[in-house]
Amino acid sequence: MKIRDLEALNSVRQQGLTKYKPARPRIAVGLGTCGIGNGAEDVYQAFTSAVHTLGADVQIDRVGCFGFCAEEPLVNIAIPGKPLVILNRVKPQEAERILTEVLAGTVDQARALCKIQSWDHLTGVVDFGEGFPDIPEWNAIDFYKGQKKIVLRNCGLIDPEDIEEYIAVGGYKALLRTLRNAEPERVIEELKTARLRGRGGAGFLVATKWESMRNAPEGQKYIICNADEGDPGAYMNRNEIESDPHNLIEGMIIGAYVMGASEGIVYVRAEYPLAVHRLEKAIAQAQAYGLLGEDILGSGFSFHLSLVEGAGAFVCGEETAMIASLEGRAGRPRPRPPYPSEQGLWGDPTDINNVETWYNVPVIVNNGGRWFAQTGTERSPGTKVFSLVGKIKNTGLVEVPLGTPLKTFVYDIGGGTGNGKAVKALQTGGPSGGCVPVDMFGTPVDYEALAQLGSIMGSGGMVVMDEDNCMVDVARYFVEFTHSESCGKCAPCRVGLDHCLRILNSVSEGRATEADRDALEQLGPMIRDNSLCGLGQSAPNPVLTTLRYFRHEFEDHIQEGNCAAGVCEELFLTPCENSCPLHMNIPRFIQLYKEDRLEDAFESVIMDNPLPASTGRVCQHPCDDRCRRAGIDDAVNMREIHRFIADSVYGTEMEESVLKRLLERKMPPSGKKVAVVGAGPTGLASSFYLALLGHEVTVYDENSEPGGMLRFALPEYRLPKAVVATEVDFIRRLGVEFVCNIRIGVDKTPQSLSKEFDSVFLALGTWEASPIDLPGVQCTGVYHALHFLDEVAHGKDLRVGQRVVVIGGGNAAVDSARTVARLGADVTVVYRRQRDDMPAIPEEVDEAAEEGVKFMFLAAPHRVISDGQGRVTAIEVQRTTLGEFGVTGRRRPVPTDEILRITCDSVILAIGERVDTVFTGGSSLDLNRDGTVKVDRYSAETNLHGVYAGGDLVTGASNVSNAMSHGKHVAEMIDERLMGENRFAALFGSYTYSDELPDEPVAGGRNSTPLLPPEERRKSFEEVMLGFSPDQVSHEAHRCLRCDVKDECRVGAAAE
């Protein structure tokens, strides 16, 4: 049936509406490639057979994709008179139940994702109905909230294989109007008003291109749709064609008419079979309805549209290469000018536009350019579809107005990583784009802003990266891609990328030098400026942006052979070892323990980590986050295993025996003297290694005993003083001298020390409270958390009273609260964010709650109230709500007007610590503004020759293991300087142990250490975590998957 006029179109429209919004219930399954991949085909079959079984009068249809890939399969339920309900993650076995409900005129509201009461297709509004109050409207849920569907206006709603449904929602109306009005110039005017820019990435003004085509001499002209979407992680075009193919066809016919082309080609990837199938079907239908072919809609205008499948070369997305490919030649670009609009396919004027550009055409013709320009920004109007993928909770296709900031994509729409890890960067534009770091997530997405950052918008791929992504590897991956997709025609791209790849490979294998990195920085701009086509011109972007924004990661790989993300396999033993600040060889001590070699296991542990019993109790255990066992059940409890090993050895014959081994290994006296300032974890770790390296080590501390924060900040119930004393004593017996009650800056200065000693290591802690602007902070009864803990540790009897409020959410806050609880007071922790946002170790928070510690979240201190004597009587806190996302993905607490008063006798502030700069003793030591010491990133040397600094003094308040890692590193650096060679590796012994893997991993989840019962805990400062039993430690040790055992042969063979 050929449509020739409006009347005929309207009658088809009515016909289509009876299918799109039938009088009986309609169940439509989202059958895009994404849905099918998630089992939607089975769901469709299940519904079909359920209808058959139940004999139900229900219409079962296929639709495209509504965009929310993470929630596929999506099923639309339209019960006449009721809103369209979208169900997510539907399983085939649910079909009968859902169908039964539908027949009863309802859906399970708790089960639904969202509903649509009325949908504006922009070419026509469809009202479904009202009801289902418990289901959120579609744009009320996070994923769709910031979205505006112009391009995707029909996707996931209409049947893509039925032209009548497209016509039902106003399709081909714009075409009819264009042909009937016969004013092609008006279309160009509308496009000009709309300021529509090419959606393929370059952002060229569509009207300009079309106008020059229109003005080209009459004769054969071609229009081409570029659907050769090849960026890794980008699938917008696929989805658009699969879900709404007629929209493309209509846009192209309008374009052909305006430009005077009689032939059009859709160049689509062969890897998109479903899109090809649906588009072929759509073309056939359009021909059958008289919308394609000769004498379209009776206007006399003829246009033929065909489809060509690309052979899979990325470079064919470049327009001149695409033309070469269409002409049957190898897909290699040629120089422009002449532009295709002058000399294109077969030498005739040719217009090439991206899929999405064409999709915007009918709606602009229909609603006008002015309407279109209202959305988006001044220079980049309209919307853009992005595929949001990678380390993100809500993956999917997202259409937002241009100018939307990046953080909206990642946090509001995407929901963050969803695994508790921090987002690190966003890659836009695929291999031609760049990586934008988190602190630039405020940048609005438009053509110019992204280019400014060194990236591009590209066709719309957006890959989210978290802390597990190595940026060197990201750059390497993309260059590997462009390297293998380079056509080879011009030298800069062909050979230049080869050298780039070689260098990036060597960086990720730890073989690169700084000269290599410099070569990359030279090659990048050269390739960009001299390559023949867009592929080469943009190929260096991933390298240049990562070098610009993640330079430190390159430095880590080059200088230290360290890949913090744990991606570059040559650079680490296992993920746990790599995540450990001390780089403990974890699988080794676990295996040695399994082999009943407790002494060896302990030696292995203590050589990697000089305070194994203390860290075994208080480490933040980053290893847990990387353990591959978590992929089966839970991470191996590595911290408790090395605590068990240490606890079993200290105080026994074995301790003496290992001490003897270490003393035998100790290098002969070097004659060099080293002063370490601060006997905390940093200083202790460094002195352990410095002593073994044969140096004469003196450790100064202002306290009466060594141990620093371990001794005086960590409460007894977490880390008993006796444990610290044992470990300090072990280090003392290795030949370290401890001199207590010496305050640096007062009794001695860095300068005086550097005269007495060959090297000085400053390893002081952050004991000074960060300043806070809180009225009443000077009142009696207001404590700083570390001072409070320190005084308790010193045995002072603090009269905190009956009710105490602790402000803060870190470990110091939780430690203070649990200590207060043990002092017999009622304690409330006030934190301005929510529980999940607390930086404290989660287990500690749980234990605190068990001990009766109360928490008040979303509240910030407002002022402290005191009585006439200046004693605290209460604190006022201000309620906060969580506002906009910050660039790091945490919502900002926003104060409200609500003030609450909490009666209390004391207030403990745990809101951050800093360095007390007295220690500089007036020396010219270079400090940062926050009082931390400036050091060379790798040598850890300060601006004073031979004076080093590390630990909290450099990083600001951190944790025990990080502090110790500094101490370990500085010991190596000091020794290398003093002795003129690196002797550090020679300290460490080797062990022979089994590398047999069990056929099957040992079953059973993670063992947790038994805890003292909560009622006992409140009564005393007894240690809470009791440690593993021998059975537990054995089972836990056997849970290790031994990631250190690598089958070299097999890996090698696979690579060939």
Q: Which residues bind another protein (CB under 8 A)?
A: 313, 315, 330, 332, 334-335, 337, 483-492, 494-499, 502, 519, 522-523, 526, 529-532, 537
Nearer to another protein, 347 or 1005 (CB): 347
**Minimum CB separation from another protein for residue 517, in Å?**
14
Structure tokens at 244: 């709404």
Nearer to another protein, 531 or 574 (CB): 531
**Minimum CB separation from another protein for residue 12, in Å?**
47
**Minimum CB separation from another protein for residue 445, in Å?**
23
**Minimum CB separation from another protein for residue 527, in Å?**
9
Token match 């992005």: residue?
386
**Minimum CB separation from another protein for residue 474, in Å?**
20
Structure tokens at 309: 């499948």
Structure tokens at 613: 């019993």
Please write down the long-range contacts of 41-50, taking CB distance under 8 Å and 24 or more positions apart: 42/92, 43/73, 43/75, 43/90, 43/91, 43/92, 43/95, 45/92, 46/92, 46/93, 46/94, 46/95, 46/96, 47/75, 47/95, 47/98, 47/99, 49/95, 50/95, 50/96, 50/99
**Minimum CB separation from another protein for residue 489, in Å?**
5
DSSP-assigned states of every residue in 585-614: -HHHHHHHHHTT-HHHHHHHHHHH-S-HHH
**Minimum CB separation from another protein for residue 539, in Å?**
11
Nearer to another protein, 507 or 940 (CB): 507
Helix (H, G, I), strand (E, B) or coil at 542: helix
HSE-CB of 549 using CA atoms within 13 angstroms: 24
Are the C-beta atoms of residues 947 and 925 closer than 8 Å to each other? Answer: yes
Burial of 816 (0-12, 13-18, 19+ CB in 10 A): buried
Nearer to another protein, 494 or 863 (CB): 494
Nearer to another protein, 519 or 856 (CB): 519
CB atoms within 10 A of CB 189: 14
**Minimum CB separation from another protein for residue 266, in Å?**
24
CA 704 to chain centre: 45
Find residue 434's DSSP bridge partners: 428
CA-closest candidate to residue 360, choices 503, 508, 200 = 200
Are the C-beta atoms of residues 627 and 1022 closer than 8 Å to each other? Answer: no
Are the C-beta atoms of residues 35 and 29 closer than 8 Å to each other? Answer: yes
**Minimum CB separation from another protein for residue 484, in Å?**
6
Q: Is the dihedral of CA 412, 414, 415, 420 positive or negative?
A: negative
Structure tokens at 570: 């040559």
Nearer to another protein, 3 or 493 (CB): 493
Nearer to another protein, 256 or 490 (CB): 490
d(CA 210, CA 191): 9
Nearer to another protein, 523 or 1024 (CB): 523
DSSP-assigned states of every residue in 801-812: -SEEEEE-SSHH
**Minimum CB separation from another protein for residue 472, in Å?**
19
Nearer to another protein, 315 or 964 (CB): 315
d(CA 299, CA 256): 13
Nearer to another protein, 402 or 487 (CB): 487
**Minimum CB separation from another protein for residue 315, in Å?**
8
Phi then psi dihedrals of residue 931, to 5 deg = 95, -10
**Minimum CB separation from another protein for residue 316, in Å?**
11
**Minimum CB separation from another protein for residue 531, in Å?**
7
Nearer to another protein, 535 or 971 (CB): 535
Nearer to another protein, 502 or 597 (CB): 502
Nearer to another protein, 7 or 981 (CB): 981
DSSP H or E stretch at residue 976? helix 960-979
**Minimum CB separation from another protein for residue 485, in Å?**
7
- Cβ neighbours for 417, distance < 8 A, ≥ 6 positions apart: 391, 392, 393, 423, 464, 466, 889
Nearer to another protein, 274 or 451 (CB): 451
| 8-state DSSP, 311 | -
